[in-house]
Every structure is written in C-alpha cells, then in structure tokens.
Amino acid sequence: MARLFGTDGVRGLANADLTPELALSVAAAAARVLAEHDRTHRPVALVGRDPRASGEMLEAAVVAGLSSAGADVLRVGVLPTPAVAFLVAALGADVGVMISASHNAMPDNGIKLFAAGGHKLPDSVEDEIEQKMLTHDGRPTGAAIGRVRDVEDAEVQYVEHLLKITPHRLEGIKVVVDCANGAASIAAPDAYRRAGAEVVEINASPDGLNINDNCGSTHLDVVRAAVLEHGADLGIAHDGDADRCLAVDAQGNEVDGDQIMAVIAVAMRDAGELTDNTLVATVMSNLGLHIAMREQGIALRTTGVGDRYVLEELRAGGLALGGEQSGHVVLPAHATTGDGLLTALRLMARMAETGKPLAELAGVMSRLPQVLINVRVSDKAVVAKDTSVSDAVAEVSAELGDTGRVLLRPSGTEQLVRVMVEATSHEVAESAARRLAGVVSSVH
C-alpha cells in the first residue's frame, strides 16, 4: 500500500480522495497513538482550517474522529497554518491538525499534523498513525469521550505573538497584501496595521470557493498591479494557508524566497542573531543565493526540497534561519514552521530600520536565470527509474559544466516531475529545460 502521508501531510481531491471517512480515521488514529505515547492525561487536540468550502466538512470529521478516540478538542476556526502550530505550543495541546491544501486549487484539501510544541510529526509517528488506522480498538464511552470547545481569541493571540517579535515598527511603509482569499485574510492585514504599516488589502474576502483563484503567491501579477496603482512601497502575496509569502518591490519586480532569505540573513547577521552565520536552504535555491551569501560571509547549507528537511537541519544544528525559494521561511526562535506573516514583518522591519527600499535590499543577491517546468506524468516513480531521463540529465549537466545546473524532482503531492535548469542566460536555461521536459513527458 502506498504511504498515506506525503511530504506535507495527507492531501487530495476533497470528498473523492480525501473523504470525511478518511479524515475521521486519520484523526482518531492520531489521538489513539498520542494516548498510547502518554497515558498521564487525556490528549488535547487543536484543530484549524483554511476557508475552502470542503474544510467545513472535513473539520467536522476530524473533530468527530479526535473526540471519538477520547481526545479533547480545541477548535480555532479559520487561521493560517503557522498560527495553528503556534497555538499548539501556546495552549499546551498534544497535537495540532490543520485542514488545508495550501496553494492548491479550491477542490483539493489536506490534513497537516503537528506534535506537541507545534513541530511537524516525524515520519515514524506518521507511520504509527497509518498502522493504527488498520486496527479497530474499542472506543471510549460516557465521560471518556472527548469534549469540544472553541477558542474565541485564537487570532488575537497569534497576532500579538507576531507583534512582540517584530524588531522594528513599520510606520512610513505602505504595503499591499494579497491574502489569496485564504487563511490570512483577517490576520495579515490586522498584524501589518498594528505593526504600524499603511495597508491596502486585496483578495481578503474568502467565500469558500475563491481561495487561490487567480490571486496570492502563485499569481504575482495581481499584487504587482495593485502596488503600482496605489504607489505602495512593496507588495506581499500569501498562499492559501499563509505559511509562506513572496514579495514585489515598489517597481513591481518580484522578490522571491531566496532574495527574502538573503535580506533577512544579512539583517540577522548585523543584529547578532544569525547562529554560526549560517543560512539553510534547499537544493532548489538559486546559485545567486550561494554567491551572495559567500560575499556576505554567511555560510549556506543545503537540504532536500521541503520545509520539513529545512526544519530538520535547523534543529540539528541549532541554527536560526532557513527556507525555500517558494517563500517558506523558518525562524526557529519564533516559529516551528514556515510563517508567511512573520517573514513579511521581518522584511518590512528591515526596510523601516535601514530606510532603504526593498529593491536596494534585495539587490544583495543577483538571480541567475532559472527555468522551472512542471511536467505532468502518469507515474512519477517510473520516470525516476527511466534510463533515458537519467542519460538526458547527465548530458545537459555536462554541457552546462560549472556555469549552471540541472535538478529533476517529483512533486510530493501530485503526479508531476519538476524540471529545473539554471544557466548563464535565460535562453540557454529554457532550451535545456524544454529538452529535458520533452524526455520526461515521453516516458510511459
């Protein structure tokens, strides 16, 4: 049987792949595993979601599963994923459940689990949960059934936490924030205003159907146009669950996750907060980030793709900053997962502290041309083993030599293979990427 948990929880088409029955089973198994790990008290679970319509259905199933297995449930409603992780720790819960498919289209949904303290579950515990789903232990009855209550001030607690850890007030900064009609639609504008910024909010009216619909971090043209229209200093674009953000400067130029990490890394180095003067990024980060960090005297460690691998490296080394080109940025001193709102506040705080525009700050790094093509395939595992693909990768890599690189990797959530090529010019990178994409798409 294929592993149920992917790189970021359980995800699929809601009510088809991810059914209420499956959600209930996952939640009940998680509660039972937790109860077996610690028999000193009744497990407490915290449940949040993004605003997509299927989240209402899946929330009901998850809450039922948890309480039916004897866990008390704290329901926090629509909140960003990092808010759920924070509240797990702040409220002393044993597990957190976030119902979201992040940047995916509205019909999809997902279930992310957090352990006590707000940390992502290790693979071993996820495997335990999968095994527990196959057994049918007796259910509690009477007073042993879990109870459910709502946490009315959950958003307030999260925003106040963000404000306490923002190093500089944001007066004088005008920001456009694209909330993707997602989980940040209330919290992000609230946090940025309370930090002192002038805020123009767009796509902050979720109706359950419009999440990520031609807006947010996957459609930067929307926030770019709004920045130019309103004469803002920058734009921030979140994804559906707000665990990441991308930015545009006052001229509408994209500032991606690599550049955001570069700005924050230099700021933390200057403040003496960057442990071992080291940044952690994934193999997808642009070569330009490596060059920029070397010039700034900052070491760069690389991991596999996925914020969980960045987190593992950060925790193993006791390091202070890491993230992904996609805009997942982790500051372990303040958050246990990627937090788009925290990232945006740090970026704007650096602007306010230095008085420099975002374009100048982001100029610490020059991006090498990078082309990424997502190739839909029937079976990504077959592609990974195909010799014609490996031969083509070796050939292109040899042609590029030290002036570029090639990376092929399967998506963790979809039947896609991502083909990435960096080179000295966009034309060379695109030609090589299309050539490789053609080979990948021909595999059956």
Positions marked catalytic: 102
- Strand order across the 95-99 sheet: 10-13, 108-115, 95-99, 44-49, 72-78, 148-150
Measure CA 294 to chain center.
26
Spatial contact of 279 and 321, defined as CB atoms under 8 Å apart: yes
Number of Cβ atoms within 10 Å of the Cβ of 84: 29
In the sheet that holds 254-255, the strands lie side by side as 198-202, 174-178, 234-238, 245-249, 254-255
CB 316 within 8 A of CB 295: no
Which residues 6+ apart lie within 8 Å of 95 measured at CB? 30, 31, 34, 43, 44, 45, 46, 71, 88, 113, 114, 115, 116
- The runs of H, that is alpha helices, within 321-406 are 340-354, 358-362, 380-385, 387-400
Would you say 94 and 37 are in contact if contact means Cβ atoms under 8 Å apart?
no
Three-class SS state of 62: helix
Q: Is the dihedral of CA 211, 217, 222, 226 positive or negative?
A: positive
Give backbone dihedrals phi and psi of 388, rounded to 5 degrees, phi first: -65, -35
Rounded Cα distance, 54 and 12, in Å = 11
Token pair of 244 as six digits: 């990441």
390 Cβ neighbours under 8 A, 6+ residues apart = none
CA pair distance 427, 331, nearest whole angstrom: 36
DSSP type of residue 142: G
Backbone angles phi, psi at 280, to 5 degrees: -110, 130
How far apart are the two ends of the chain, measured CA to CA in Å? 22
Cα separation of 418 and 420, whole Å? 6
